Amino acid sequence: MSWLRAKRRPQGEGDQTSLPSITPAPTRKQQAWLAVAALSAMLLHAVYVPPDIALLALALLAWRFLIGWQRIPPAGRLVRVALALVGLALVVAHFRNPFGRAPGIALLLLFLPLKLHELQRPRDAYAAILLSYFLLFAACLHSQSMLAGAGLVAGFVLVTGALIVLHHPAAEWRATLRLGAAMSAQAIPFMLLFFVLFPRLPGPLWGIPTEAQMARSGLSETMEPGSISELVLSESVAFRVRFEDRVPLGRELYWRGPVLSRFDGRVWRAGESRRVLADSPYAPLGPPIRYEMTMEAHNKHGLFALEQPVAAIAGSVLTADFQLLSRLPVTQRQRYRLESHVRVSWSSEDRRLIAEALALPAGRNPRTLSLGRELAAEARTPAAIVLAILTRFRREAYTYTLSPPLLGDQAVDEFLFETRRGFCEHFAAAFVTLARAAGLPARVVTGYQGGELNALDGYVTVRQSDAHAWAEVWIDGQGWQRVDPTAAIEPSRIESGLSAALPAGEPMPILWRPDMAWLRALRQVREAASNGWNQWVLGYNLQRQRELLQRVGLDANDWRQVAVVLGTAAGLLMLAYVLWATRSAWRTVDPLEREWARVGRKLAEHGLARAAWEGPFAWSERAGRHWPEAHAALREVAKHYAAARYAGADARSATRAIRDLRRALPPNMRRSNDVSDKS
C-alpha cells in the first residue's frame, strides 16, 4: 500500500505538497461515517424487501456500529461466511433464486453491512463506498417519487461525506457535510443538461418500477355489496385532471369506469357491452369539455373519462358501453387528452344490449321483483317508473353509511326490506334491479364522482375515496340516461362530497373531519409539489423531449445533431466551471501577496529570485546591488510590503504603491560588475 502513503523527500527539495493518504485501517471516525453512509443507502430499500431480510441487514449494521464504539469483539471470518450463507438462503427462500433485480438488491442489502465487518484495508472502505452508491441509485427501481428523490440526494451527500473523511480523517463533520453538498451541487448543471438532451427511452429503465406493480388496484371490474364502501376509505390518488376551460361543477363530474350489465343476484359483472364500439349511437350537443388526465398505475385495462367521451385515444378502444379500455394494462402513470360531451342526442341502441339490460336471475330477490312489477303497474311510463323508485328511496327510512351490514344470497331483498342501510353500490344495485323488474332496461355504472380542486396548481384530484356507483336506464327516444339513486338519498354526497353525506357520529378518516381544514391545506401543498414532479420530471418522456427539441429548432429524429449539441453544451459548461473555479481560487489570494509575487516573478526573470531564507529588505538589497538603476524602487517596494504585512499599515495603499513601483521598473537590467552574490 505504498501508493497510499506520503512519499518521503530529502530535505531541501523545496516546499512540495503530497496527496492525502488513507490510513491502512480506518479509524473509528471513518468507520462511523461508513456506517452512516451505508444506513442512508439501506433505508431506501428497507420497505421494499421482505421484512426478515431488512431486519437482518439493519442488525448486521448495528452490530458493526457497536464493534467500533463499544469495542466488542468483531465477527470472525467463519461467522461472516455463515451470515452470508444465511442471507443467501433467505433470498432464495423468498425469490426462488438469487438472480434478478429484486433478489440482487436484497443480496446487496445484506452484503454491504457484512463488508463493513471486514474493514482491514483501504480497498475494503472503497468497496463499501461503491456499494453504498450503487444501492442509492438502485432505489430508483423501487420508487421515483419526489420523497424518494430527496432521500437519494441526502444519501448521496452522506456517502460523499464518508469518501471525504477517508481522505481527510481530521475533517470536522459540519465542514464535511458542506463540502459533500457543494460537490453534489456542482453536478446539478450537468445533470439538468443530460436530463433534457440525452435520448429518452420509450419505457422505464430496467423494467417497470416496483411501485407500479404494487400499486393499489383501485376500482374493481365487478361489484358486490360492500366492495366500494371498503375502497373509499383509501385517500390515495386515482388520477388528476386539468381542464382547458372552466372547471365543471361537482355534480357534473361523473368519471365513467366499468359498466356492469350481468347480474347473478349478488355480484355485478361486465357483459356484451364490453365489445368495441363500431359506430357511435349518439351525436354531441354543444361544445365539448377538453381536459388532460394523469392517471396513476392500477394494473388493469380501464381508463376513466368524463361522460360521454367523444373518441378513444391512442393505444385504447372505446367499448359499446362507452368505457375507455387500454390495450395494455396500465402499469405506469399515463397522461392523455380527452374531449367529452355532457349533452348528447341518441339515435338507437343494439337490441342485444337492451336485452342484456333487462335480464334478471331466476329465483333471486323475489320481493324486489314483485315490488318492481307493482311500481310498473302504477307508473306505466319509463320516466314515471324512475320517479317512483327514487320516491320510495326518499320516503322510506334508508340510511347512507360507510359501514353497512353484511348481506346474504338475497342481497337486494335484504337491503330493501330488512337492513335499509347501505352505500352507493347498494342503492345502485337495488335501483337497477327494480327498474329491470318493472321492464325498464338498466345497468350499473361504476367510476368516480367529484374531485378536489387544488388552487395551487389548478388540477382536480380524484381519489379512491371518490369511488361511486350509479345507474343508467334506456328510454326510447332519449337514449341512456344517468340516474344516481345516491343523490335521491343524500344530495350532499354529490354537491359537497362524501364527508358531508355521512350521518353524524359515523366513523370517518381524520382528513374528512370539518375541523381538519388546515391539514387538508397542507396536503394540497404536498400534492401540488408532487404533481409538479410527476408532470415535469417523471412525465418528461420521449414525446415531450421531441416537442422540446423541435421548439428550439433541432431535428428530434437526428440524434447525431442532438449528440453534437449535447457534447458542445457539456464542453462549454465544463469550460465555464473551470474558469469559475480558477477565478475563485485567484480571488482567494491576498491582493498584497499577489503584487508581491508579481515583483518576485519580475526579478526571477532577471535571475534574482528570492531565496527561502531572505526577508523583504535583505532581498531588495541583494537585488539592488545587481540592478543599481532599480535599487531605490526595490527598497520602496520592500518598505511598503513590510509596513503592511508586519506593522499594520493600510494594505490597499501598500498594494497600489507596489503595483506602481513594479510597473516603473526598467524593462532591462544592466548587471553591476562591482558586486558578488557572496557579499
For 62, the grid coordinates are 448495528
Residues in the chain: 679
Which run of H or of E encompasses 294? strand 289-295
Per the annotation, the verdict on 424 as an active-site residue is yes
From 321, 413, 466, 484, the catalytic residue: 484
User: How many of the other CB atoms lie within 10 Å of CB of 250?
Assistant: 17
Q: Three-state DSSP class for 281?
A: coil
Residues contacting 249, CB < 8 A, separation 6+ = none
Active-site residue, 468 included: yes
Which of 424, 466, 626, 640 is labelled catalytic? 424
- Are 40 and 137 in contact by the 8 Å Cβ rule? The answer is no
**Is-contact 161 176, C-beta < 8 A?**
yes
Q: Which residue's entry shows cell 404533481? A: 531
Instruction: Please tell me what DSSP assigns to residue 417.
Output: I
Based on C-alpha coordinates, what's the Rg of the chain? 38
Closest Cα partner for 594 from 258, 602, 420?
602
Query: Which positions ≥6 away from 424 have C-beta within 8 Å?
Result: 228, 229, 468, 469, 470, 485, 486, 493
One of 45, 468, 626, 640 is an active-site residue; which one?
468
Cβ atoms 360, 302 nearer than 8 A: no
Q: Which alpha helices (H) appear in 43-145, and where do they start and end?
A: 51-70, 77-95, 101-116, 122-138
Question: Checking DSSP bridges between strand 421-422 and strand 399-400, what pairing results, if any?
Answer: parallel
520 Cβ partners below 8 Å, 6+ apart? 511
350 counts as catalytic = no
Strand 442-449 vs strand 467-475: parallel, antiparallel, or unpaired? Answer: antiparallel
Q: Supply the residues annotated as catalytic.
A: 424, 468, 484
